[in-house]
Amino acid sequence: MFFTYLRRELRRRRKAALVVASGLALGIALVIVVSSVSSGMKQAQGKVLESLYGLGTDMTVTKAATPPKEGSGQTGRPRFKFDAKDSDDEDGEEQSSDRVMVQGFQTLSSSTVAEVGGQSGVADAVGGLSLQVMKVNGQFERGEFEQAPGGSTGKGQPPGGGGGDQQEGQVRGGGADFDVDSYSVYGTDVGKLDLGPLTSSRISKGRTFTGSESDAKVAVADASYAKEKKLSVGDTVTISGTKIKVVGIATPDSGDAAANLYLPLERAQTLADSKNKITTVYVKAADSQQIDAVKSAIQKNVSGTTVTTSADLADTVSGSLSTASDLASSVGKWLSIAVLVAAFLVAGLLTSSAVSRRVREFGTLKALGWRSGRVTRQVVGEAVVNGLVGGVLGIAVGLGGAYVVTAISPTLTAQLGSAGGQSGGGMGGGPGGATGGGPGAALSESASKALDISLTAPVSATTIALAVGLAVAGGLIAGAFGGWRASRLRPADALRRVE
């Protein structure tokens, strides 16, 4: 009887039921779209962090920034020295010099890796050394001395050598033409290739390192850098006089690469004259829900270090990605709540109004022996069905909206800059990316890099379950309004009214 009466009433009042369902559908659809876009924002930020940290990395440990000592302002600057050339036949000979510097000029002992790895909640830890190579090459050209009218012209010095009276004249031409090339190098522990920045790239050509190449003269080049320098597998690059063979090309999964060249850690330490030194410890937590506790344990037990989690690094992300994320999490969330509350209220009021128009009907049913509870259940049942219909419509519209966002896939820019002006390795101490900038670089106060991320709107099963729950809740709220109104009807009063 319940379902027969329910079906008949919903069919008879299709327009009213559709209005209630449509209001609920609008609110539910907006919730789905906002939730899916917010999820897409989180995935986009995750891609940004992976391009710096690497997959599986929950936090990094770097040396705590120390204030510079008085009179030490010049110690971090690279110096280049070139031999003087005296003979004329060596004039214009190309000269080259490079310097391998620790990025940020702050290092930790390699033993810090074991110390961090021994802390409670740490599943794994690996050290890395971030370097910056500056190479200067070019040539000097001697000028020609041109004597005043009446004298002779010589090359490199006035006539008469260094003795006698100086004759009037001037030097023309000459000078120097030097090119400065800067690129980043990351020393990775070949025994733990599943943790650290290299994991954010895949080997597209050649191979990666083997466990026996801890000090080998081999390298994996970033694909963009290899294209720029026309490097391929089997070619060699020279760093500080050491020839390094390229054994693989790595293509980043998203964004920019963490470094231009990846070297075995021990070889990188040798090139930088930093034996048993690292710049960063990459940490994987045993439980992602306990990251804050692990951070506190490391800060407490490993002195002289700064611990940076992915959440800390996410706070430094600016640009359109950050703006859109803020809008989705604040404006979008409150707008969804406002629309949903309005939809619930409208559904409740419409259901209550419908009950008022059915006073004679419910009065007659009570006169025929229906109890108030049965009438209330009938009204609530109708409202719940309306809510479920609205939920189905809302899910369909919400999925359509999420699909449109994913199909359009708008591009957002994430600007990553040094946080807080830390000089010891910046935010997380990671490698500096293609140009040596980014959160890990402290060579320049303005070091930063921008990543372009395509936004998607994935809809999870949790979001669908939430939509179904909202649909049922909306129906129950609307039914509560109508049921309360129906329960207060008295048969005698109802029968005296004419519809």
77 pLDDT band, cuts 50/70/90, is low
For residues 12 and 74, which has the higher predicted lDDT (pLDDT)?
A: 12
pLDDT above 60 (res 436): no
Higher-pLDDT residue of 278 and 35 is: 278
Rounded-to-integer distance, Cα 95 and Cα 233, Å = 27
Q: Supply the pLDDT for residue 499.
A: 47
Residues 267-308: pLDDT tens digits? 999 999 899 999 999 998 888 788 889 999 999 999 889 898
Mean pLDDT, range 315-325, rounded to an integer:
53
What does the mean pLDDT of the chain come to? 74
Output the CA torsion 484→487→491→493 (10° steps): -30
Other beta carbons within 10 Å of 461: 7
pLDDT tens by residue, 399-417: 998 898 888 877 766 655 5
Lowest mean pLDDT among 85-89, 300-304, 343-347, 408-412: 85-89
**Whole-angstrom distance, CA of residue 355 vs CA of residue 333:** 33
Average pLDDT in the 164-173 region?
Answer: 59
Write the DSSP symbol of residue 328: I
pLDDT at 444: 32
Percent of the chain having pLDDT more than 90?
21
Report pTM.
Answer: 0.57
Task: Give the model's pLDDT for residue 445.
Answer: 31
Q: Give the whole-number percent of the chain exceeding pLDDT 70.
A: 62
For residue 431, pLDDT over 50 is answered with: no
Tokens 């025994």 sit at which residue? Answer: 191
Q: What is the pLDDT of residues 214-242, one digit of tens each?
A: 999 999 999 999 999 999 999 999 998 89
